[in-house]
């Protein structure tokens, strides 16, 4: 078997040959003759992603294997679905959507908690060639409205409620509020009624999910072009308007299928668990599509790492279902470590089947790395990727060759990704020198071909800074052994408990407060969540308001407009913001102060005392 270096080299030097071979891992209605053309992968190829994720496994004799295991400590229930059962449910749900007029190319917004119907809905859209857009449940009505207006769905699929450990989240009132705010009108909303809370349905527009599916005729798979979109997933950019990351059908199926074996070392029939949420890219790629494309059993977990009911929750799931590969965000492990530092809850469970722990979504701090690997005694693998890329850019590809691990590094670029560290002038940085992490074009299959209805923003955001390269937005360096170290975002995107947020979006909300003259929102280092947003606000001259009241109002406003997931809890009133003499807020310096890193006082600063004030507020 070839080692990492040989496989990597081939993927960069002969990408078409490399991906032609990988494309044999999926079923095509029309096999692609051309591998890459005009910036798109597999033009001319035709396939159906749902067929590849479900039908073909039934046809190949996996019908009785579990496809999906739903485990829900928040409802005290669990259920297994074989591939055959999943096929039946997906086909009927697709039939229901077709009956509502959804066809290839139409969009469907899915706003749902972590229930099997969310996965079934995604696959049902894929079956019809319809484009799904899943919106994370922790977003507020306003964020949902923005996505509905941009995606213009024919149908919205939702549920009566989501269940957080401390409270029920009634989704339907949020959806109704979003539809009131949005100018686009979907023809129908289909609502899954959960027993914990029933939703009122609007006559004529809303349908009860169970009734609608019961009466539906199963629908077959619609053949689509490899370059047709499978889904749009909105993610935070540097402004308040989210970016609609597009994923195509062909490149995505090929790349994800390839990644399951080569990055994760997962074989068909194995149990693979990504403890994330279907609202994020990790959920799309490694709860739903990756494991199912590979014929694995995937686990859908409606719970938390702690508090549902205790820090042994992950060990229970791993042991009960024989999980071979666990994937989550470092913050989940920090939460477990905080409540159970000695790992005593682990001792109640047989974890001998667990082979790898993969972590991503934010930087894996060496402390958490050591804690997890000492306790579990298995490789703990940091890997780095983004919503845009859809699958890992850098990882220890255990399915090719297990390389030695270095704490703090996601190891080396994954085959297909030509990672280059560039300085401000676009020259490559020597080993050890930090710069912008970029990927030399072409990007491999599975990565975003564009932003939904916004080709210009795609080019401007990702391709214009360094011609011929994709800009990741992360800073980092490569060491003498070729190991990549990703140090964090160099833009206004922050990562809160593995959730990606835009400080720009929070600033838009904070600035809308009538007493706020100007503000800057910065990600502050946080031991548990990695980062937390903190607002620094300057009040309008003469505002008589008490800063504590303003803070309370701003916290409530962000929660109401963006959602609880923003975890915005601090807004510090300051007398002025640090600025350059030309009036630009010194965000970068503020970010360094907030991150606890060394910072230099820029020579262009207008009033150095403004920086001191921020540093003192951060100290507090």
Residues interacting with ligand COA, by CB under 6 A?
Answer: 137-138, 162, 164, 169, 276-277, 280, 282, 304-306, 329, 331-332, 335, 361, 496-499, 529, 564-565, 567
Nearer to ligand AMP, 158 or 472 (CB): 472
CB 19 within 8 Å of CB 254: yes
Q: Using CB under 6 A, which of 71, 382, 491, 507 touches ligand AMP?
A: 382
Whole-number Å distance between alpha carbons of 8 and 5: 5
520 binds, among ligand COA, ligand AMP, none (CB under 5 to 8 A by kind): none
Q: How far apart are CB 562 and ligand COA at their closest, in Å?
A: 10
Nearer to ligand AMP, 81 or 289 (CB): 289
Spell out the residues 6+ positions from residue 380 whose beta carbon is closer than 8 angstroms to its own: 357, 359, 364, 369, 372, 373, 405
Q: Is position 386 an interface residue for ligand AMP (rule: CB under 6 A)?
A: yes
Nearer to ligand COA, 346 or 538 (CB): 346
The secondary element (H helix, E strand) that includes residue 375 is: helix 366-376
Nearer to ligand AMP, 114 or 486 (CB): 486
Q: How far apart are CB 142 and ligand COA at their closest, in Å?
A: 14
Spell out the residues 6+ positions from residue 146 whose beta carbon is closer than 8 angstroms to its own: 182, 241, 242
3-state secondary structure of 128: helix
Whole-number Å distance between alpha carbons of 462 and 441: 11
Q: Is position 284 an interface residue for ligand AMP (rule: CB under 6 A)?
A: no
383 binds, among ligand AMP, ligand COA, none (CB under 5 to 8 A by kind): ligand AMP
Q: How far apart are CB 130 and ligand COA at their closest, in Å?
A: 24
473 binds, among ligand AMP, ligand COA, none (CB under 5 to 8 A by kind): ligand AMP
Number of CB atoms found within 10 A of residue 200's CB: 11
162 binds, among ligand AMP, ligand COA, none (CB under 5 to 8 A by kind): ligand COA
Q: Is position 410 an interface residue for ligand AMP (rule: CB under 6 A)?
A: yes
Nearer to ligand COA, 164 or 553 (CB): 164
Nearer to ligand COA, 85 or 277 (CB): 277
Per-residue burial over 599-620, b = 16 or more CB atoms within 10 Å of its CB, e = otherwise = beeeeebbeeebbebbeebbee
Q: Is position 409 an interface residue for ligand AMP (rule: CB under 6 A)?
A: no
Whole-number Å distance between alpha carbons of 213 and 53: 21
Q: Is position 303 an interface residue for ligand AMP (rule: CB under 6 A)?
A: no
CB 210 within 8 Å of CB 157: no
Q: Is the dihedral of CA 378, 379, 380, 386 positive or negative?
A: negative
CA 444 and chain centroid, separation: 19
Whole-number Å distance between alpha carbons of 28 and 46: 6
Number of CB atoms found within 10 A of residue 480's CB: 8
Whole-number Å distance between alpha carbons of 294 and 271: 11
Instruction: Enter the tokens of residue 119.
Output: 């996965």
Q: Is position 495 an interface residue for ligand AMP (rule: CB under 6 A)?
A: yes
Phi, psi of 472 (to 5 degrees): -85, -25
Whole-number Å distance between alpha carbons of 490 and 508: 20
523 binds, among ligand COA, ligand AMP, none (CB under 5 to 8 A by kind): none
Nearer to ligand COA, 280 or 483 (CB): 280
Q: β-pairing, 356-359 with 323-328?
A: parallel
Residue with tokens 């989240």: 169
- Of the candidate spans 158-166, 190-198, 199-207, 379-387, the one that interacts with ligand AMP by CB under 6 A turns out to be 379-387
368 binds, among ligand AMP, ligand COA, none (CB under 5 to 8 A by kind): none
Q: How far apart are CB 130 and ligand AMP at their closest, in Å?
A: 24
Largest CA distance in the chain: 74
Q: Is position 491 an interface residue for ligand AMP (rule: CB under 6 A)?
A: no
Per DSSP, 177 falls in state H
Q: How far apart are CB 469 and ligand COA at their closest, in Å?
A: 26
Nearer to ligand AMP, 238 or 543 (CB): 238
Q: Is position 235 an interface residue for ligand AMP (rule: CB under 6 A)?
A: yes
Whole-number Å distance between alpha carbons of 188 and 207: 7
Whole-number Å distance between alpha carbons of 382 and 410: 5
Nearest to 308 by CA among 178, 162, 437, 163: 163
- Of the candidate spans 81-89, 176-184, 268-276, 376-384, the one that interacts with ligand AMP by CB under 6 A turns out to be 376-384
Nearer to ligand COA, 91 or 191 (CB): 191
Q: How far apart are CB 74 and ligand COA at their closest, in Å?
A: 11
Binding map of ligand AMP across residues 456-485, x = CB under 6 A, - = no contact: ----------------xxx-----------
Q: How far apart are CB 302 and ligand COA at their closest, in Å?
A: 9
Site for ligand AMP in 331-370 (CB under 6 A): 360-364
Site for ligand AMP in 188-217 (CB under 6 A): none
Q: How far apart are CB 335 and ligand COA at their closest, in Å?
A: 4
Whole-number Å distance between alpha carbons of 225 and 229: 9
Q: Using CB under 6 A, which of 500, 529, 579, 591 touches ligand AMP?
A: 500
- Of the candidate spans 138-146, 382-390, 590-598, 601-609, the one that interacts with ligand AMP by CB under 6 A turns out to be 382-390
Whole-number Å distance between alpha carbons of 562 and 533: 13
Residue with tokens 């109401």: 560
329 binds, among ligand AMP, ligand COA, none (CB under 5 to 8 A by kind): ligand COA
Distances (CA, A) of 147 to 45, 135, 454, 462: 30, 8, 14, 21
CB 291 within 8 Å of CB 297: yes
Residues that bind ligand AMP (rule: CB under 6 A) add up to a total of 21
Nearer to ligand AMP, 154 or 499 (CB): 499
Q: How far apart are CB 273 and ligand COA at their closest, in Å?
A: 12
Nearest to 146 by CA among 104, 187, 175, 178: 178
Nearer to ligand AMP, 12 or 487 (CB): 487
Q: Contact residues for ligand AMP (CB under 6 A)? A: 235, 281, 360-364, 382-387, 410, 472-474, 486, 489, 495, 500
């Amino acid at each position: 078997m070839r080692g990492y270096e040989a496989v990597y080299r081939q993927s960069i030097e002969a990408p078409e040959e490399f991906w032609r071979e990988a494309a044999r891992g999926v079923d095509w209605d029309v096999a692609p003759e051309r591998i890459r053309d005009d910036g798109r992968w597999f033009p001319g190829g035709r396939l159906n992603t749902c067929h590849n994720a479900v039908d073909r496994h039934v046809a190949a004799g996996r019908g009785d294997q579990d496809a999906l295991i739903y485990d829900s400590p928040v409802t005290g229930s669990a259920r297994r679905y074989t591939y055959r059962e999943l096929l039946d449910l997906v086909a009927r749900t697709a039939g229901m959507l077709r009956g509502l007029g959804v066809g290839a190319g139409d969009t469907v917004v899915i706003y749902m908690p972590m229930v099997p119907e969310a996965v079934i809905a995604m696959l049902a859209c894929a079956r019809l060639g319809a484009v799904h857009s899943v919106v994370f449940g922790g977003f507020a009505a306003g964020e949902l409205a923005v996505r509905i207006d941009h995606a213009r769905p024919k149908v919205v699929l939702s549920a009566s409620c989501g269940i957080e450990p401390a409270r029920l989240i009634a989704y339907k009132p949020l959806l109704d509020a979003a539809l009131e705010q949005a100018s686009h009108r979907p023809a129908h909303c289909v609502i899954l009624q959960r027993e914990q809370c029933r939703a009122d349905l609007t006559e004529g527009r809303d349908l009860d999910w169970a009734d609608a599916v019961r009466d539906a005729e199963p629908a077959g798979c619609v053949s689509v072009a490899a370059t047709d979109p499978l889904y749009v997933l909105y993610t935070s950019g540097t402004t308040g308007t989210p970016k609609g990351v597009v994923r195509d059908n062909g490149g995505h199926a090929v790349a994800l299928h390839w990644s399951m074996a080569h990055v994760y070392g997962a074989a068909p029939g194995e149990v693979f668990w990504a403890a994330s949420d279907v609202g994020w890219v990790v959920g799309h790629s490694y709860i739903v599509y990756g494991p199912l494309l590979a014929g694995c059993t995937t686990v859908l977990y409606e719970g938390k790492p702690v508090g549902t009911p205790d820090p042994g929750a992950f060990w229970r799931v791993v042991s009960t279902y024989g999980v071979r590969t666990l994937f989550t965000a470092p913050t989940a492990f920090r939460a477990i470590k905080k409540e159970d530092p000695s790992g005593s809850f682990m001792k109640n469970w047989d974890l001998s089947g667990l082979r790898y722990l993969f972590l991503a979504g934010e930087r894996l701090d060496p402390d958490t790395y050591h804690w997890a690997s000492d306790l579990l005694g298995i490789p703990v693998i940091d890997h780095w990727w983004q919503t845009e890329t859809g699958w890992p850019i850098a990882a220890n590809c255990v399915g090719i060759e297990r390389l030695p691990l270095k704490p703090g590094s996601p190891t080396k670029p994954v085959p297909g990704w030509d990672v280059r560290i560039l300085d401000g002038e676009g020259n490559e940085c020597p080993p050890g020198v930090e710069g912008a992490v970029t990927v030399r074009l072409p990007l491999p299959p599975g990565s975003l071909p564009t932003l939904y209805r916004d080709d210009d923003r795609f080019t401007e955001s990702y391709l214009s800074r360094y011609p011929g390269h994709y800009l990741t937005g992360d800073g980092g360096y490569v060491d003498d052994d070729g190991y990549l170290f990703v140090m964090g975002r160099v833009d206004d995107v922050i990562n809160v408990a593995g959730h990606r947020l835009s400080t720009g979006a929070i600033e838009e909300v904070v600035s809308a407060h009538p007493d706020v003259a100007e503000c800057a929102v910065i990600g502050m280092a946080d031991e548990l969540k990695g980062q937390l947003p903190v607002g620094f606000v300057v009040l309008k001259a003469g505002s008589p308001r008490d800063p504590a009241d303003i803070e309370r109002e701003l916290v409530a406003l962000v929660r109401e407009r963006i959602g609880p997931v923003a975890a915005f809890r601090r807004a510090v009133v300051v007398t002025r913001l640090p600025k350059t003499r030309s009036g630009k807020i010194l965000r970068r310096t503020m970010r360094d102060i907030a991150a606890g890193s060394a910072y230099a006082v820029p020579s262009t600063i207008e009033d150095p005392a403004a920086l001191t004030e921020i540093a003192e507020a951060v100290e507090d």
